[in-house]
Amino acid sequence: MSSQQAPLRHLAIIMDGNGRWARRRMMPRVMGHRQGARTVRRIVRACAQQGVEVLTLFAFSTENWQRPQDEVESLMQLFMESLERETNPLQENNIRLRIMGERSGFSPDLQAAIERAEAATASNDGMILNVAANYGGRWDIVQAVQHWCQDHDGDVSALTPEALTPYLATGELPEPDLLIRTGGEHRISNFMIWQMAYTEFYFTDVLWPDFDEAELSAAFEDFAQRQRRFGRVIESC
């Protein structure tokens, strides 16, 4: 008998394929991002219904600033619109919004919108929707070490993985149990590289705008078959 699979507490998703979805339909890339935002709404609702404690979405990486300026501007506008449109539904569904990343890179108006949305949902105690925006895994580790050193006078002799963990952008959140990446790519693209030391990976060719509740269920079913060892040997009979 194999050990029972632990519950899926924290799901992370790299939402890839918006641009290709639009290109295949002879549309501007921004239309793919807008369709992808609609998918976000459905998947957030489905995860909350299935008891996921934390859902982390990779929305905008530190490398995404290298995209064409008009696309970046469209993404920033879509981010602003989504914050304004989705805050009330999140509040109504008891979902807490949390944004992680280097906020100073955003405009003052967008930073203010982030703060308003987080404040409006701060008392919710249901699922945490953790959105990674202007985020990179290497940035996360560097800023964590910097903040740890500030609190310990620069003496790294007592620095341990356990001591550094609370300084990461994920803070008090559990580490991801499962990472889903859509769009057919098989890499993590500088996403929570510290936190995903023992995360299970699930890759699908489905483009993010086409990812639906059935695809989510397929990923969950695949995860349920995994045997997570965390470096241990698990006896079976």
- The answer to whether 208 touches 39, Cβ cutoff 8 Å, is yes
> Was 18 annotated as part of a binding site?
yes
> Was 208 annotated as part of a binding site?
no
Residue 187: name the closest of 51, 31, 54, 58 by CA: 58
> Was 16 annotated as part of a binding site?
yes
Amino acid at 62: T
From 64, 93, 124, 190, active-site residue = 64
Task: Give the integer Cα–Cα distance in Å for 169 and 192.
Answer: 9
> Was 188 annotated as part of a binding site?
yes
Decide if 16 is catalytic: yes
Find all residues with CB under 8 Å of 145, minimum gap 6, and list them.
156, 159, 164, 167
> Was 61 annotated as part of a binding site?
yes
Which three-class secondary structure state does DSSP give residue 155?
Answer: coil
- The alpha carbon of residue 136 and the mean position of all alpha carbons in its chain are separated, in whole angstroms, by 11
> Was 217 annotated as part of a binding site?
no
Which three-class secondary structure state does DSSP give residue 219?
Answer: helix
Task: Give the integer Cα–Cα distance in Å for 210 and 199.
Answer: 24
> Was 104 annotated as part of a binding site?
no
> Was 65 annotated as part of a binding site?
yes
> Was 200 annotated as part of a binding site?
yes
> Was 10 annotated as part of a binding site?
no
Decide if 88 is catalytic: no
Stretch (H or E) spanning 19: helix 18-24
From 16, 130, 140, 177, active-site residue = 16
Binding-site residues from annotation for substrate:
17-21, 29, 33, 61-63, 65, 67, 181, 187-189
Catalytic center residues: 16, 64
- Binding residues for Mg(2+), as ranges, are 16, 200
